[in-house]
């Protein structure tokens, strides 16, 4: 820990905890950061005395030098304007909208403007209050390491509301960082600093769920080198998620994942070996080149090479979800202009990707695409059906093209990207890992199913190259799954 905080601890007083006293300033504050499977982070604190409001503290590392797009500015952080892009920086704390102006963000912003965060001002995070406690912490020089337990309130939707679609079991194998500082070093207090002043952080891996009821849930955690999480060598043993770096071998980063960077795979379907490009998203949904699929029919017998389209339910203008596909049913006697929200025209039957929620009384059906995974008849496609898997379509990236949120493209015949900020493409705005406009969509879900989808690939047509996946996988394929499923507690 730093000399500053060590000195403060040595001068701790015994006395009143009332606000304004030295003892209150030196109140010890615990902060927790819990990583979710999608690499996002939840920020919690167990409460500051009787005050259950959010507290703010700075990141441990310097901010990224990649430009931040409006809509993503963090309140309280310092930025330098790069370009306007229709963003009113004066409405979020700037003195003007000129490039080079330094400002402290008072809001997230809107539009396509960008700004770069100051390297001397570490990012500020909001830690929300969550009834929680960690115990069993011990530091010893010999014997087995301690196995602390983290208990979090399970009442109502407190925790679930922060986790979104993830469940408690999804936290197994995820990392928890415990931070400790003094109250006066929090943002908004007298001695806030960049970088932040704090004790040495402690990092744990959630090993299993120790207990769960309608009041609380207790996770048993371990240090990254303990028991199921021992390094053998340079490998973390976990029971649920693959520890290999996705495509690490081909990228020169080592590891056991040998999946090619461009998704290229060769398959001998008859007497000829043919090449295919195979892509899946985090949820193992196939990403395929855009083409027209036949409409689903309940009376048709489908096999595992069948791709279909469904158009249900019917959605009214004003309720369209940006980034999803729809098929026009009615313009509402001309009251809905579908061309203003992504459609090529206002003709009934036109398929479009919504760029807005729409207005008026027009209607359209939600359009989805599916791959049959189990042959059969009369099994309606849905995300909960074991007979079907949702499919997403991509197009080749092109310059001087308008892209909108949710658009999928393949760039440089390598991998698939998703547009996260509307823009007109150019030679300077291309999909990259540091782009403010694109995010990689072809990523591994790190589960055994993700490994199976890729290494077990079979083409839907055996006699041609560059084919879509078959809904059934090659059961003879060897999976270089970098984890140990047998260590998961059943």
In order of 453, 457, 466, the CA distances from 440 in angstroms are 18, 21, 21
Tens-of-pLDDT digits for all 490 residues of the chain?
456 666 666 566 554 444 554 566 778 899 999 988 877 889 999 887 666 788 999 988 888 777 888 888 888 889 999 876 778 999 999 999 998 999 999 998 888 888 998 877 788 899 998 888 888 876 655 555 667 888 988 765 677 778 888 888 888 888 899 999 988 899 888 888 888 999 888 888 888 888 888 888 899 888 765 544 444 455 555 667 888 889 988 888 877 899 999 999 999 878 889 999 999 999 999 999 999 999 999 999 999 999 999 999 999 999 999 999 999 999 999 999 999 999 999 999 999 999 999 999 999 999 999 999 999 999 999 999 999 999 999 999 999 999 999 999 999 999 999 999 999 999 889 999 889 999 999 999 988 899 999 999 999 999 999 999 999 998 888 888 877 654 443 3
Structural domains in the chain, sorted by start: 15-58+126-229 (no CATH), 68-121 (no CATH), 287-390 (no CATH), 397-440 (2.10.10.90)
Q: What is the pLDDT of residue 156?
A: 58
**Residues contacting residue 119 through CB under 8 Å, at least 6 positions apart:** 62, 63, 65
Rounded to whole angstroms, how far apart are CA atoms 274 and 277? 10
Cβ atoms within 10 A of the Cβ of 31, count?
20
**Residues contacting residue 475 through CB under 8 Å, at least 6 positions apart:** 456
pTM: 0.58
Rounded to whole angstroms, how far apart are CA atoms 487 and 483? 9
Rounded to whole angstroms, how far apart are CA atoms 364 and 349? 9
Q: What is the pLDDT of residue 213?
A: 84
* SS3 per-residue string spanning the chain: CCHHHHHHHHCCCCCCCCCCCHHHHCCEEEEEEEECCCCCEEEEECCECCECCCEEEECCCCCCCCCEECCCCCCCCEEEEEECCCCCHHHHCCCCCCCCCEEECCCCCCCCCEEEECCCCCCEEEEEECCEEEECCCCCCCCCCCCCEEEEECCCCHHHHHHCCCCHHHHCCCEEEEEEEEHHHCCCCCCCCCCCCCCCCEEEEEEEEEEECCCEEEEEEECCCCHHHCECCCCECCCCCCCCCCCCCCCCCCCCCCCCCCCEEEEECCCCEEEEECCECCCCCEEEECCCCEECCCCCEECCCCEEEEEEEEEECCCCCCCCEEEEEECCCCCCCHHHHCCCCCCCCCEEECCCCCCCCCEEEEEEEEEECCCEECCCCCCCCCCEEEEEEEEECCCCCEECCCCEEEECCCEEEEECCCEECECCECCCCCCCCEEECCCCCCCHHHHHHHHCCCECCCCCCCCCECCCCCCCCCCCCCCCHHHCCC
Q: What is the pLDDT of residue 454?
A: 95
Asked whether 29 and 186 are in contact (CB, 8 A), the reply is yes
Rounded to whole angstroms, how far apart are CA atoms 250 and 451? 16
Q: What is the pLDDT of residue 374?
A: 95
Among the listed residues 30, 94, 101, 33, the one whose alpha carbon sits nearest the alpha carbon of residue 61: 33
């Amino acid at each position: 820990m730093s000399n500053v905080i060590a000195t403060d601890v040595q001068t701790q007083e015994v006395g009143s905890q009332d606000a304004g006293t030295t003892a209150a300033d030196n109140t010890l504050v615990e902060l927790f950061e819990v990583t979710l499977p999608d690499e996002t982070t939840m920020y919690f604190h167990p409460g500051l005395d009787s005050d259950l409001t959010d507290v703010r503290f700075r990141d441990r590392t310097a901010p990224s030098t990649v430009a931040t797009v409006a809509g993503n500015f963090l309140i309280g952080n310092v930025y330098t304007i790069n370009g306007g892009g229709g963003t009113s920086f004066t409405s979020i704390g700037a003195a003007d909208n000129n490039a080079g102006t330094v400002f402290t963000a008072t809001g997230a912003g809107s539009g396509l403007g960008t700004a770069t965060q100051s390297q001397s001002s570490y990012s500020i995070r909001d830690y929300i209050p969550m009834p929680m406690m960690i115990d069993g912490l011990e530091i010893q020089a010999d014997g087995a390491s301690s196995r602390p337990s983290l208990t979090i309130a399970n009442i109502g939707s407190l925790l679930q509301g922060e986790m979104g679609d993830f469940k408690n079991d999804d936290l197994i194998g995820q990392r928890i960082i415990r931070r400790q500082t003094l109250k006066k070093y929090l943002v908004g207090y007298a001695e806030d600093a960049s970088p932040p002043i704090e004790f040495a952080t402690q990092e744990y891996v959630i090993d299993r769920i120790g207990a769960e009821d309608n009041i609380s849930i207790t996770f048993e955690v371990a240090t990254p080198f303990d028991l199921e999480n021992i390094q053998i060598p340079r490998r973390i043993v976990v029971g649920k998620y693959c520890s290999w770096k996705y495509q690490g071998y081909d990228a020169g980063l080592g590891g056991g994942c040998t999946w090619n960077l461009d998704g290229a795979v060769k398959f001998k379907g008859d007497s000829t070996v043919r090449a295919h490009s195979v892509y899946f998203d985090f949820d193992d949904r196939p990403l395929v080149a855009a083409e027209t699929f036949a409409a689903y029919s309940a009376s048709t017998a489908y096999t595992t090479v069948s791709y279909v389209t469904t158009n249900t339910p019917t959605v009214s203008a004003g309720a369209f979800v940006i980034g999803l596909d729809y098929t026009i049913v009615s313009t509402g006697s001309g009251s809905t202009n579908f061309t203003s929200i992504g459609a090529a025209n206002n003709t009934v039957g036109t398929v479009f990707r919504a760029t807005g929620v729409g207005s008026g009384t027009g209607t359209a059906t939600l359009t989805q695409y599916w791959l049959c995974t189990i042959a059969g008849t009369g099994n309606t496609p849905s995300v909960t059906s074991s007979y079907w898997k949702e499919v997403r379509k991509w197009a080749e990236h092109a310059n001087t093209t308008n892209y909108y949120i949710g658009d999928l493209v393949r760039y440089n015949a390598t991998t698939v990207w998703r547009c996260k900020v509307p823009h007109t493409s150019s030679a300077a705005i291309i999909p990259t890992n540091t782009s403010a406009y694109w995010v990689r969509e072809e990523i591994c879900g790190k589960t055994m199913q993700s490994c199976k989808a890729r290494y077990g690939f079979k083409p839907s047509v055996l006699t041609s190259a560059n084919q879509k996946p078959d809904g059934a996988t090659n059961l003879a394929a060897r999976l270089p799954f970098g984890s140990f499923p047998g260590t998961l507690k059943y």
